Every structure is written in structure tokens, then in C-alpha cells.
Amino acid sequence: MNTETRDRIATATTLLFVPGNRPDRFAKAASSGADLVILDLEDAVALADKDEARAAADRWLADGNQAIVRINAPGTPWSAADVAMAARHGCPVIVPKAEDAATLADLVALSGARCGLIALVETALGVERAYEVCRAPGVVRAAFGNVDLSAQLGTAPDDHTALAYARSRLVVASAAAGIAPPVDGVTTALRDLDALRTDIGHARRLGFTAKLCIHPAQLPGAARGFAPSPEEVRWAASVLAAGDSATAIDGHMIDRPVLLRAERILAAAAETPAAP
């Protein structure tokens, strides 16, 4: 995987799923404005359609289009063929049920190290092993699978309190492993923009910097939600304008970590596309 692809994965804010067995939707997804498109060969595809979905993704990528592929989980009958297909195109993959560093290393070897990995942490074991997963060979970024994890835990997928520990553990593990901040899970209410806004606000406070989206209607809200607010930009600009010698602004202490945070905010604001 080249540096450009790695950087695109690390800095993406919106990642849009499209079912792998719906090639009629691929072009629409690619033109939706999502930072990254995910061709989903796993949950969105019925068992009888797995081979058809892989073939459709293969054709799309062979035509020169770019995407990420969510493979079927390691150990399933389709996983190896999914990885081989992605490797032919040097295509990054999302690995569902990521919970074992050795398995992730095996996937890298199987792909000939051509496929960067997004580790989708969506099991209790994956949460408990989050650091090992995030530092496994080939892992560029982690993502949070709130729907699958909540099913295992017996909670609702939109229950922020029930999943706060898992989310925070993934944020901390990503930082400890030295990879990009993780991608938050889906908001299942497709067109409920208030629910989307609430979910993003919660995830952003915990340290997530991106969102898995399941409908194009969610993309604008996700992009705005993870962009620095005007107030944050003004604060960051005032901090940096004060210079390294400043010790306080508006009654708040200024030291090196605060300066670094201000720099990150202004860098993120510079990368945010202007509103139409």
C-alpha cells in the first residue's frame, strides 16, 4: 500500500458503505462526496450472493475505480477469496470481527502486504484486545462496530452510556499504537439528522474523528460534525497568535499541549471543504 492511500485512510472523515451485490449503486456512492467508499461483501450481502458480490467488486476495481472492500470475517468460507480479490487491485480492506493480531498479520501475508487494513472492532474480545489489534502489522486505522457489539452485550446500538467504555478503549488504544484516531460506528436511523448529530457529538468528545455512514444523506452532517466549529477555530487562532511566551488566555492556562491542540484544530479546519 502506498503512502497516498495510507494517508487517505488516516485522514478520511466520511466512509460510506454500499452493498457489494448492488453494482448499480457503486457509481452513485463514488460520486456522493464520501471521503472513502466501502464495497461491503459481509453484512449487506446474503450468503447465496457472496460470490456474485465479490465478482461485482472485482469488475468495479478492475475498471480503475477506487474503493475499500469489507471482506467477510477470517475463518468464513469467503474470506480468503475476498482478500485475494482485493490484493489483485492493491485495495485496502476492512476486517470485521477484528480481535486477534496474529490473524490480522496472516491477512497481510495472504495479500502480499498489498492491502492496508482497517480493523473493525465489534466484539467484546476485540475491545479487550484493542491495543494489540491496533498495533498489528498492516493496521492503518480502527473502526468501531457498535451494532454487532451491542448485540453481543445485550444493549441498544445507540446507547452511548452502555458503549462508552468500548469507544474510549478504542480511542486510547489507537493513540497508544500510534495510528490515526478511530472511525465511529453507524447511526442506524438513516434520515434522522438529529440522531446523527447527537451520535457524532458524543463520538467526537471521546476522540473519534470519522464516521461510518450507511446512506448518502448522512454524509454532509458527518462532515460538518467532525469539522472544527467556528468557536474552536477562533480559539485556536487566538492561542497561536499569542505566541509561545503566553501563559494564559481568557483566564485559561496555555502550555505546550494546548498549543499542539490549537495547531491540530487549525490544520483540520484547513482540510475541511468549504460549505456549498
Q: Is 167 annotated among the ligand-binding residues?
A: no
Interval 168-216: pLDDT, tens: 999 999 999 999 999 999 999 988 999 999 999 999 999 999 999 999 9
pLDDT over 90 percentage in the chain: 79
Contact between 15 and 38 under an 8 Å Cβ cutoff? The reply is: yes
Cα angle vertex 138, ends 133, 139, to 5°?
A: 40
- Name the residue ranges covered by the structural domains of the chain: 3-226, 231-271
**Helix, strand or coil, per DSSP, at residue 141:** strand
C-alpha cell at 24: 448499480
**Helix, strand or coil, per DSSP, at residue 266:** helix
- CA pair distance 266, 260, nearest whole angstrom: 10
pLDDT at residue 273 above 60? Answer: no
Interval 129-146: pLDDT, tens: 999 999 999 999 999 999
Fold of 3-226: TIM Barrel (3.20.20)
Average pLDDT estimate for 103-108:
96
- Burial of residue 108 (CB within 10 Å: 0-12, 13-18, 19+) is buried
**Helix, strand or coil, per DSSP, at residue 268:** helix
What phi and psi, each to the nearest 5 degrees, are found at residue 180?
-60, 155
**Helix, strand or coil, per DSSP, at residue 214:** coil
C-alpha cell at 114: 498489498
- CA pair distance 85, 42, nearest whole angstrom: 14
Q: Is 4 annotated among the ligand-binding residues?
A: no
Q: Is 35 annotated among the ligand-binding residues?
A: no
**33 torsion bin: left (phi>0), alpha (psi -120 to 50), beta (else):** left
